Structure 1
């Protein structure tokens, strides 16, 4: 039986964007419908919407309608395509913008005849993975100096509504030394979408960028497809073309909320705060696509996860923290050095970077921490020592010279700037760093590093 040509009627119910179809001869089909397969919904002999099978139960097939179900009647028919969603994959996708159905939305040339790659493939065999050992430079000091981004890393940006996390993510996409940047926008308002597009165009990086965008006004079901489309293409580029691919996703909380909405429509029993019980596995399935492939390229995932009410125990950031390898904590307009962590930085610091990197990183954070304590002592009217005043000066200059999000500085000049700041605030004998490194790198009276 040709499932692509056979039309099935018998819609039992329509709940939100979910269509429940009764198919009496499922067991006798030569190619029965499978979970995640696509289907076409037709009404009055005309195309109505693309749909995806999300549940099979005896003779009941549940489908998500990509374009919604408004105006759909129970007399509509369904044609099963017998294949899963596929992403367009060719050299012509660079500089293009696609929606959650994988269709170009930038008014560019059609790509219907281009090769495609299936999404929702299995996670990479661990045998094909190699240990992360290469740094992705971003020219953002709070990342490159203090929490290096490493190839094949999966790491979120934890933040809250109102913080400039999208602007920060866009800067990383523009400045990162990756071969390819794949952007996945989830439930974006149009202004944010336009800002990303303009930022990539103005920086001249669209030629190495592919964008998959689901707007807040687009169907919720397409929001669930965007990460899979982006990651399928990223994996293909890394494995077959040896590309170093950086995947940027925002906002994974909107993605989780879309899963919750669909789950409620499917009458699934919710777990913590209304989210489905498989939230962890659904997130992990996407994040685990991050990989450094043996003899090929790599996929690195950097995603925004907003925390409702700045609550890190919220199910989305809580589950994300168990899966990922650290986090960048964007708080009060800066990357908070105390809340941020890169668990893979030790694989590159001092190995791919300068010999003083580890020592200077630890010293700067230690003195900044002591400077924050000195600020608290001052606020409570305690007497401050001479060294406390030096720490106060250091912490203020550290915020201005390193923590601001608009600062752009390569790693080596940033390390030199650390030495200069230490020399400006402290005597050489006061700074606890290996003497051999101080002798080599300590900044002189002219403000220049010795080395």
Structure 2
């Protein structure tokens, strides 16, 4: 039986200080006040002074409230009955379903030993050409989606949840607006994806400290599914809200602030979550996609800046599209050589031509004379944006590659693309080549007139 303490020395925000002995870091405690009973967690030890973070907030907690330490850390239930369910940030049912208590699993444990990891080698198909062709998502990869407020990043995550070829989706929401929570829940349910999903959602109206639990609970459950041989995709939104919650607690505890007030261990805290991405030998895998909003579209902000050092690339979401410039999947070369023989060539050529389109667009906007080549680039760029970059486009990889060939064939002659002859012979749309060549003299005559 653990000792009960009847005196709280200090209350600061959602953190209370108790003088106690034989207490461990991250140990749970039960705080009983006039409002009822709340769980708290040890977040700092200074001799006999124990700092406790109350998950439900400190409202109603007085200095004479009772504190009982439980002798164990935070755990979450694991069961296949989690699938199709929605929980709050602390793992309590949000969908009015029964509480699940099976297989209590510790959260926030260490990441997997590198010796037990497998080199990433399998593609995660999403049906989104800007990912599948140009920045392929790979099993066990960790990638952030850099965005700004107002961009449809939650809609993008919902589409990936629907279309990704994985076994289990774990969605962790931190600081979500209630409308965003309802969108995720209803969208996944309407399209039949909720049955393979588990949602842990903390909304902006709930105690901030519960946002800190969401990544750890989500990834602990993801790890259990992966050890059973499941391909798991963990979708986290928004990691900036997670970092802001850490910042709030650090300020409450009067820690010496680092860059822009964030705690000095921000990098370590983020890395310990992202490093949960893993491919187990002889079992399943965990792949992590996490939204990171950039205040003021500033990529040097501490959260995206630290994230960039941890992850294996990033997706930039701007103007409702995944930007081809700046977006990067550092592991794509592990898999895109094994998809189809033309994958890498289409990826490289289309991006190069799109860069040339941007130059032609700038030349046109400045009033310079455009050449026949510029007009071809302008036609190509508009089609590339409408038919490939638009997030509403939903195509399997092979059909997306075929579409790439069609767009190239409609806009250019084979020799203008720089594609190797062997691939031209195999994939180039011949009927369009003849039509494009027939159009050349007409365009030249028109320019001469």
> What TM-score, normalized by structure 2, do the two folds share?
0.95
Between the two proteins, the alignment pairs up a number of residues equal to 433
* 1:43 to partner: Cα distance: 2.1
Give secondary structure in 1 for the equivalent of 2:202. strand
1:127 is aligned to: 115
Q: Which of 15, 19, 24 is the matching residue for 2:12?
A: 15
Q: Which of 364, 370, 374 is the matching residue for 1:384?
A: 370
1:405 is aligned to: 391
Q: Which of 238, 247, 264 is the matching residue for 1:251?
A: 238
TM alignment of 1:166-181, pairs within 5 A: 166-181=154-169
Give secondary structure in 1 for the equivalent of 2:402. helix
Q: Does structure 1 conserve the Cα–Cα contact (< 8 Å) formed by 2:33 and 2:60?
A: no
1:67 is aligned to: 56
4+ runs deviating over 2 angstroms: none
Q: Does structure 2 conserve the Cα–Cα contact (< 8 Å) formed by 1:38 and 1:81?
A: yes
Residue 28 of structure 2 is aligned to residue 41 of structure 1: no
Distance in 1 separating the partners of 2:166 and 2:355: 33
Distance in 2 separating the partners of 1:58 and 1:151: 44
Distance in 1 separating the partners of 2:80 and 2:142: 26
2:361 is aligned to: 375
* 1:446 to partner: Cα distance: 6.5
Residue 53 of structure 2 is aligned to residue 55 of structure 1: no
Q: Which of 218, 243, 261 is the matching residue for 2:248?
A: 261
Residue 300 of structure 2 is aligned to residue 313 of structure 1: yes
> What TM-score, normalized by structure 1, do the two folds share?
0.95
Distance in 2 separating the partners of 1:206 and 1:333: 25
Structure 1 vs Structure 2 CA RMSD: 1.1
Q: CA offsets, 1:19-58, max 9 Å, x none? A: 00112xx1xxxxx2211111100125x7431111111111
Distance in 2 separating the partners of 1:330 and 1:43: 46
Give secondary structure in 2 for the equivalent of 1:150. coil
1:29 is aligned to: none
1:301 is aligned to: 288
Distance in 1 separating the partners of 2:64 and 2:104: 33
Q: CA offsets, 1:156-192, max 9 Å, x none? A: 0000001111101111111100100000000001000
2:80 is aligned to: 91
Q: Which moved more, 1:79-88 or 1:132-141?
A: 79-88
1:439 is aligned to: 425
Distance in 1 separating the partners of 2:416 and 2:46: 71
2:331 is aligned to: 344
* 1:219 to partner: Cα distance: 1.0
Q: CA offsets, 1:384-406, max 9 Å, x none? A: 22111101100011000011111
